[in-house]
């Protein structure tokens, strides 16, 4: 037996199996076995969440930033994953530019406070993970 489940389809099914020979039923014979069954359970796959980041920022020194909906289209995955708790993880380099490290909450709000004595560019990587 071979089967291939459809993408994002999961659940449990009961399979009933009988075996038949080609000798027929003459003289009171029986060419069919009794039914036997087994269960197949297809486990759901955890799909990655997705999101879209806002534009790059150019800010003045010693500035507190709070931008609503800076990250948008925050999606946990298919319908069976809609209850997943999403958390943004930000990796800034160099991190000493900030008095308050950048963070993004689950609504997409970006919050940060940079230091007053730093003046340079940074690279910030953002990943959304479920818990």
pLDDT of res. 119: 57
pLDDT of res. 42: 93
Residue 32: cis peptide before it, omega within 30 degrees of 0 = no
pTM flag (> 0.85): no
Same domain, yes or no, for 25 and 87? no
Q: Distances from the Cα of 25 to the Cαs of 22, 32, 36, in angstroms?
A: 9, 9, 20
pLDDT of res. 45: 85
Q: Distances from the Cα of 46 to the Cαs of 7, 11, 49, 73, in angstroms?
A: 12, 14, 9, 19
Domain carrying residue 92: 50-130
pLDDT of res. 72: 95
- Any domain includes 26: yes
pLDDT of res. 70: 94
Same domain, yes or no, for 28 and 72? no
How many domains is the chain partitioned into structurally?
Answer: 2
pLDDT at 131 over 60: no
Same domain, yes or no, for 33 and 55? no
The confidence band for 111, taking pLDDT boundaries of 50, 70 and 90, is very high
């Amino acid at each position: 037996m071979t089967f291939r489940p459809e993408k994002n389809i999961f659940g449990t099914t009961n399979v009933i199996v009988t075996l038949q020979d080609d000798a027929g039923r003459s003289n009171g014979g029986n060419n069919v076995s009794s039914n036997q069954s087994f269960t197949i359970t297809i486990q759901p796959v955890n799909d990655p969440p997705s999101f879209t980041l806002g534009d790059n920022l150019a800010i003045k020194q010693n500035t507190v930033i709070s931008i609503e909906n800076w990250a948008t289209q925050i999606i946990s995955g298919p319908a069976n994953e809609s209850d997943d708790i999403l958390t943004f993880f930000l990796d800034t380099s160099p991190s000493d530019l900030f008095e308050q490290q950048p963070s993004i909450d689950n609504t997409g709000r970006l919050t940060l406070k940079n230091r007053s004595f730093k003046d340079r560019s940074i690279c910030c990587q953002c990943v959304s993970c479920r818990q």
